[in-house]
Structure 1
Amino acid sequence: MLCPPRRRTIYHALDPRDRNRSTATPIVVPHPRTGRRMSYLSVDDSVTATVTAAVARARAAQQAIEGWNQQQVDDAVTAIAYAATRPDVVERLANLAAEQSGLGNAADKATKIMRKTLGTLSDLKDAPSVGVIDIDEARGVTTIAKPMGVIACILPSTNPGATPINNMMITLKGRNAVLLAPHPRGEATCAESVRIARAELAKLGAPEDLVQLVSVAGENKEAGKAIAAELLSQVDYSLVTAGPANVDMAYRVGTPSHGVGVGNAPVIIDETADLDAAIPKIVASKTFDHATSCSSENALVIDDSIYDSVMAKLQDHGGWLVPAAQKDQLQQAMWPGGNLNRQVVAQPASRIAEVAGFDDDAAHASTFLIVEETGIGEDHPFSGEKLSVVLSVYRASDFDHALDTVEQILGYMGEGHSCGIHSEIDERIERLAERARVSTVLVNQPHAYNNGGSFDNGLDFTLSMGAGTWGDNDTCENLTYKHFLNYTYLARLIPSNEPTEDELFGDFLARTDRAG
């Protein structure tokens, strides 16, 4: 008689937030060793064996390149970037990504693959990542870069073309091996990217198993999450560019991990903004790839004195203003039962108009929909992330009101991620940056294009943005190769520079009248 596969459990600290969000850990039990209340995923031994084998191959491959020099590392990274940016390859990956995922459009995905891959290579080119990378003679400290080991990358359905390529490049730069776990809707695209990368590694005589795909397409969603959790439990580090449930799962597995935050970028337009420059940027950004990017503008906060002009220009550039009487109709279509409808995510405006049941031909002919909003919070879902070509607009009586509105929007959703401003007044720009609890503030820029790095700003190119502790992440930076390195600090003796107490406390005591 055939015996069913044995099962094992992967334990996670129980997170009380699970009552309000999806979770891959449905069963709660005491941990067998500590007695602490834990949740767990049950995993077949056959799944464990498959993951274990992939991780073992990755470890062997990674150990084989421990002795690589900087040129060998850079050749591998450059070879993958070169192969991935050949026009026929870009077209194939973009078409496959759009067709399989059903999200966005092929033309914009092709642009994203080219731009992000070339931008990432530009950042990585000539950047030291092997051995001694810095010598500080004054402090007597030498910094030595070393691999983390085997990295797992959990990938989103919204961006199956550019993200795998970027993740391979930034992890290989540190002599790591990488296991890519794509969303099932992006698996075919990721598989093609991995095939291309492995072929390039083989040409260089490098181990092909430095790059592998691990399928998380289980029999159902929970089974898929169990596979992902098993993978995360076996690697040395992970990067999770996915939704909050996946990020939380990765943290609870216990393996060190970089997660990303939830987007919901509000952008201020004040009365000094160059509207002829700002509006085309905003529209191009908002509609790019049908708003698959977490950095797409989700709300505009517009100064009252230019509100009507901005609204007119938005409509001149393809926007359709949803009549107030039909706002609730759109809301019910987009959030039936309170959850975002997948039928509107990263779809053209015509499809959203169809789902909403709009009869106006102008709605179906538009490139994005505009919703006037005044409320913020759970009862006002247009104030949150929409992942769709629907743009919320708020009227601000003055700049202080605009700041308050941005703060409230981010407080509801998107804290730690990003916001933006179109203005010519530096004092206002700096006030926003000082007040907003976000990792990046973009000035006079298209948000979706530039938040993840651009050739005309100083941010690192990435497809994974940390949101700091505001967004339950461990970094506020755009994630790149330096986040996947271990560092050894070699400290030599230097002449003693121990300060006197007067040097340490003198100015403080004088200012506070505490002397004696």
Structure 2
Amino acid sequence: MEFGVFATMAEALDAANKAQKDLVNNYSLEQRDQMISNVRKEFEKINDELSNFEFEETKFGRVEDKIDKNLGGILNTPGTEVIKTRAFATDKGLTIEYSAPYGVVGAVTPSTNPSLTVIGNGISNLAAGNSVVFNAHPFAEKSSSIAVKTFNKAVVDAGGPNNLVTMSANPSLATLQEILESPYVKLLVGTGGPAMVKTLMASGKKVIAAGAGNPPTIVDETADVERAANELYLSTGYDNTLMCTTEKEIFVSNQVLDRFTNAFVESGARLLSEEEANKVRDLIFVELESGEKVVNKDYIGRDASKILSDAGVDVEGDPRVAIFITDKDDLFVQKEQLLPIIPIVPTPNFESAMEWAIEAENNNNHSASIWSKDVYRVTEFGRRINTSIYVQNGGTSAAFGVDGTGKDSPTIATPTGEGITDASTFTRRRLFAMANGGNYIL
């Protein structure tokens, strides 16, 4: 039995189409719940092994954080409970609004979160009544294959149809094009930069896209400074800053700058001198022929100690994060960089902090946070930053239920506006109207 991984994309598409029709025609919501429960159980069994394998394949992040992150997706991705039906009734009749499946969903997985994307999008779409055809990132093809096979075997063992998630064994741009052009595929989901979003949009199909983010955080003089420093150390260093929601630059009031920096170092960070920061900057940013400077991909998701060592900076132990003091125009502030080198920008007043943070966020409408006890400042920054995720006095992961109330999801759809996705995101609205007073009994 193939369990979702096929030699060709054409086979993967055909299998997903047949599986989706089988799911919606022959299985109840209660049976979908049983399948999802078994998917969670089977992935929890292999989570340590899969997370270690993913790390060995991609070299991104930290194994212990990857295990934790994938477990969050396994246990906390919502299922059928978020699929809602609404009723509207007047003396003219009763109308029911259903959340219906799209059918086959085409999905692009990133190299930074391959297993989590298969798990999270797989659970969400199974709950919604869809199947998913993944175009896995070639750098994470093996991890994605294991996740796809595990998902399908768990569904089959629970009595469900095989091939609700599928992929080609040899993913490429050509296999992506097959997904985009397939008449089976009604909805596209992707995680990546502007080029990926543009490619999906050009298909003419509905797109749910998770784009780039450069999340800023503000620490003002009313904040619990030591707590902010400690939690930001843990948050920014989590999985080597790979998550698009992770804070990438910190704007700190001049009044508490020294306290904040000292507390950050006491938490375990390595503070860089100006000379050391220059060395790191020269290593991380490379210049294209066009003159634009971009992040050196060789250091995405790598340990801070590796980056510092390669830059010629002395480092002891294994700090999760390196920090340095700079100004708002630094490349580390203005460019999204998925690595644990975090710039701290001193701010003369709160208005400047807001303006500079908004500039650094670059209209991605992704994520931001603030550490402050001033409700008016919190409100004003939230209104002006206009991000899909906004957190007060906590890491941005609070939106996913980490020291906050939220839900887990691998897809944060900011360019297309859906925000943190769940099963309901992958449904379409259908109305059944009973006219002329039908079924209205009052």
Say yes or no: TM over 0.5.
Answer: yes
Q: Distance in 2 between matches of 1:119 and 1:50?
A: 32
Residue deviations 1:108-153 (CA, integer Å, cap 9, x gap)? 1110111122111xx3253336xxx222335943111221010111
* Pairing partner for 1:315 from 265, 277, 284: 265
Partner of 2:195: 245
Partner of 1:370: 323
**4+ aligned runs moved over 6 Å, structure 1:** none
Against the structure 1 CA distance between its residues 494 and 302, is the aligned structure 2 distance closer, same or farther, given a 3 Å change threshold? farther
Partner of 2:11: 53
| Alignment size in residue pairs | 422
Paired residues of 2:80 and 2:128 also in contact (CA < 8 A): no
- Give, as a single letter, the amino acid of the residue that structure 1 aligns with 2:179: L
Alpha-carbon offset, residue 216 of structure 1 = 4.9
Alpha-carbon offset, residue 93 of structure 1 = 0.7
Partner of 1:498: none
Partner of 1:480: 422
The higher-RCO structure (CA 8 Å, 6+ apart) is: 2
* Pairing partner for 2:337 from 364, 369, 386: 386
Paired residues of 1:373 and 1:383 also in contact (CA < 8 A): no
Q: Distance in 1 between matches of 2:79 and 2:318?
A: 42
| 1:408 and 2:359 matched | yes
Residue deviations 1:242-274 (CA, integer Å, cap 9, x gap)? 233222211112222111121111000111111
Residue deviations 1:381-437 (CA, integer Å, cap 9, x gap)? 4432110001011111111111111111123xx621011001111111110111113
Partner of 1:342: 297
Partner of 2:388: 439
- Give, as a single letter, the amino acid of the residue that structure 1 aligns with 2:375: D
Instruction: Classify the secondary structure of the residue corresponding to 1:66.
Output: helix
Q: Distance in 2 between matches of 1:299 and 1:443?
A: 16
Partner of 2:4: none
Alpha-carbon offset, residue 100 of structure 1 = 0.3
Q: Distance in 1 between matches of 2:402 and 2:299?
A: 32
Larger CA deviation: 196-205 vs 293-302: 196-205
Instruction: Classify the secondary structure of the residue corresponding to 1:188.
Output: helix
Residue deviations 1:297-346 (CA, integer Å, cap 9, x gap)? 11111111101100111111122222112332211100122221122211
Larger CA deviation: 307-316 vs 49-58: 49-58
Partner of 1:14: none
Q: Which of 1 and 2 has greater Rg?
A: 1
Against the structure 1 CA distance between its residues 216 and 154, is the aligned structure 2 distance closer, same or farther, given a 3 Å change threshold? farther
Report the TM-score, using the length of structure 2 for normalisation.
0.90
Paired residues of 1:415 and 1:437 also in contact (CA < 8 A): no
Alpha-carbon offset, residue 494 of structure 1 = 8.0
Instruction: Classify the secondary structure of the residue corresponding to 1:336.
Output: strand
Q: Distance in 1 between matches of 2:353 and 2:81?
A: 42
Against the structure 1 CA distance between its residues 228 and 215, is the aligned structure 2 distance closer, same or farther, given a 3 Å change threshold? farther
Instruction: Classify the secondary structure of the residue corresponding to 2:302.
Output: coil
Larger CA deviation: 280-289 vs 454-463: 454-463
Residue deviations 1:182-221 (CA, integer Å, cap 9, x gap)? 112211111111111111122233221212122454xxxx
Larger CA deviation: 146-155 vs 62-71: 62-71
Q: Distance in 2 between matches of 1:163 and 1:143?
A: 29
Instruction: Classify the secondary structure of the residue corresponding to 1:308.
Output: helix
Q: Distance in 2 between matches of 1:321 and 1:455?
A: 27
Partner of 1:183: 137
Against the structure 1 CA distance between its residues 311 and 147, is the aligned structure 2 distance closer, same or farther, given a 3 Å change threshold? same
Q: What is the correspondence of 1:277-292 to structure 2 with a 5 Å cutoff?
A: 277-292=227-242
Residue deviations 1:145-190 (CA, integer Å, cap 9, x gap)? 2210101111111112222100100011111111122112211111
| 1:225 and 2:173 matched | yes
Report the TM-score, using the length of structure 1 for normalisation.
0.78
Q: Distance in 1 between matches of 2:425 and 2:41?
A: 23
Instruction: Classify the secondary structure of the residue corresponding to 1:353.
Output: helix
Partner of 1:304: 254
Instruction: Classify the secondary structure of the residue corresponding to 1:173.
Output: helix
